[in-house]
Amino acid sequence: MVQSMSSLRTTGEEIEIVDQLLLPHIVRWVRVDTPAEAFDAIKSMKIRGAPAIASLASLSVARHVTLALSASPQPSWLATPSALTAHLSPILDNLLTSRPTAVNLSQALTRLRGVLARAEAGGWTGVQAAQAVIDEGKAVAEEDVGRNREMSRVGAEWLLAQLEAAGTIAPGEKINVLTVCNTGSLATSGYGTALGLITHLWETGRLARAFYTQSAPYHQGTRLTALELLTLGVPCTMLCDTMVGSLMQHFPVHAVAVGADRVAANGDTANKIGTYNAAVLAKRHGIPFLVVAPVSTLDPATLSGRDIPIEHRPPMEAVLARGVAYPPIAGKEQEQVVVQIAPPNISLEGIYNPSFDVTPAELITAVVTEKGVAHNAHGAGTIDLSSVL
């Protein structure tokens, strides 16, 4: 089997990430030594994807505490659980502000806070509390790959069963699936969510073709999903974000599978900008629309999509493009350039650049997690997520 891409890796206590701003032309591993560097990597989108940023943030805190434990002398904030909490709380608060829409980050940091609270309540030593924080931080990343494989299997099998039962496809027939943004190994600690489902279909001989949108303005589809699918040898076709309707008119698209940065209690889902457009068009064409995400992305405390904070990126990012020269310039084949594609006098106040939109539950056919499938069989305005939490 062809090795998939990876968003981060650890060697001992060292953490490295692939600088995704340079992909697909340059694969450069960058060390992340501190929580402050993790914040910068997440904020600048050198690493992105809700599960991946949660993993990096947690691992950076674990490394920070590990280095303190091995220091001589040890810092005073390791003396007691309360001192450790006082030291780590502002670090966790800062990491949380790096990407506010992705609930995985919040939940990972909440897990670390929970360890600190138990340590204080349980009368642990400072060293015991520190080791527990390290273990929890590493667990956040380690759990990701296994649950991604499970939700991909569960979702793929459920989708095929639904399509066969409806007579949309014959038993054993291969299907075409459209996805938005990048939800594979580069967005997680491994395998992926929605792209993991597509990968599972390919590995089991049930995928005819994967379609993926460019996902402007950051082009996560063009740069990252393309790279992952081509690396795996998956038959795939790219389309501009504005071509989704045309694709559905002229090609048999059997399903749309997307990831999520946050799923509210009623099933409303925040995901990469352009997801809502695809959901509206899927509804118009009678195409199943699946949200594939780990339980950690489900946020029962957020009642509906109206309550999800939506991150807005810097306006200039919407009018810049990064890549290599075409046709290639001899000796500079991998030299990246950034170009502005809007008039030089464009006003930043005149640029609308949200990173995410919210797809209402009524447009979502099912929410798939590692624990099962919440089916919205009748297009209700609310999806009962209790079975997959």
Q: Is 79 helix (H, G, I), strand (E, B) or coil?
A: coil
Condensed to tens digits (0 to 9), the pLDDT of residues 192-214 reads 999 999 999 999 999 999 999 99
**Contacts with 148 (C-beta within 8 Å, 6 or more apart), sequence order:** 51, 188, 189, 190, 191, 192, 193, 196, 294, 370
Domain boundary among the residues 129, 144, 159 is at 144
**In the predicted structure, residue 277 carries a pLDDT above the cut 70:** yes
Closest CA to 252 of 302, 288, 215, 227: 288
**Is residue 382 assigned to a domain?**
no
Q: Does the annotation mark 261 as catalytic?
A: yes
Higher pLDDT, 331 or 275: 275
Question: Domain range spanning residue 345?
Answer: 315-350
The number of beta carbons lying within 10 Å of the beta carbon of residue 352 is: 9
Shared-domain flag, residues 122 and 74: yes
Residues 291-307 pLDDT 10s = 999 999 999 999 999 99
Give me the pLDDT at residue 3, please: 58
Domain match, 341 and 366 both: no
Could you give the number of structural domains in the chain? Answer: 3
Q: Are 5 and 185 in contact (CB under 8 A)?
A: yes
pLDDT in tens, 133-145: 999 999 999 999 9
Residues 88 and 14 both lie in one domain: yes
Kindly list the distances between the CA atom of residue 247 and the CA atoms of 33, 211, 251, 253, 276, in Å, as whole numbers in the listed order: 44, 9, 6, 8, 16
For 100, residues 6+ apart whose C-beta sits below 8 A from its C-beta are: 309, 311
Asked whether residue 85 falls in the same domain as residue 153, the answer is no
Quickly list DSSP for 202-221.
Answer: HHTT-EEEEEEE--TTTTHI
What is the mean predicted confidence (pLDDT) over 363-375?
98
pLDDT tens-digit series, residues 112-127: 999 999 999 999 999 9
Tokens of residue 301, six digits = 């405390």
Can you tell me the distance from the alpha carbon of 182 to that of 211, in angstroms, rounded to the nearest whole number? 12
For residue 385, being part of any structural domain is answered with no
Let me know whether 225 and 115 are in one domain: no
The verdict on 224 and 246 lying in the same domain is: yes
**Mean pLDDT value across residues 1-14:** 81
Q: Do 302 and 159 sit in the same domain of this protein? A: yes
Same domain, 41 and 167: no
Beta-ladder partners of 341 = none
Please report the pLDDT score of residue 69 as a whole number: 97
**Does a structural domain hold residue 2?**
no
For helices 194-203 and 126-165, give the axis angle rounded to 10 degrees. 60
> In angstroms, rounded to a whole number, what is the distance separating the alpha carbons of residues 194 and 369?
10
- The H or E element spanning position 289 is strand 289-292
Query: How many angstroms separate the CA atoms of 129 and 305, rounded?
Result: 36
3-state secondary structure of 153: helix
| pLDDT reported for residue 303 | 98
Candidate list 261, 268, 299, 357, residue with the active-site label: 261
Q: Across the chain, what does the average pLDDT equal? A: 96
DSSP three-state, residue 354: strand
Do residues 132 and 187 both lie within one domain?
no
Residue 8, SS3 per DSSP: strand
Is the pLDDT at 1 greater than 50? The verdict is: no
> 93 and 158 share a domain?
no
**pLDDT digits 0-9 by tens, 75-104:** 999 999 999 999 999 999 999 999 999 899
Reported as a single tens digit per residue, the pLDDT across 18-67 is 999 999 999 999 999 999 999 999 999 999 999 999 999 999 999 999 99
The predicted pLDDT at position 298 comes to: 98
Sign of CA dihedral 221, 222, 228, 230: positive
- CA 288, 292, 297, 300 dihedral sign is positive
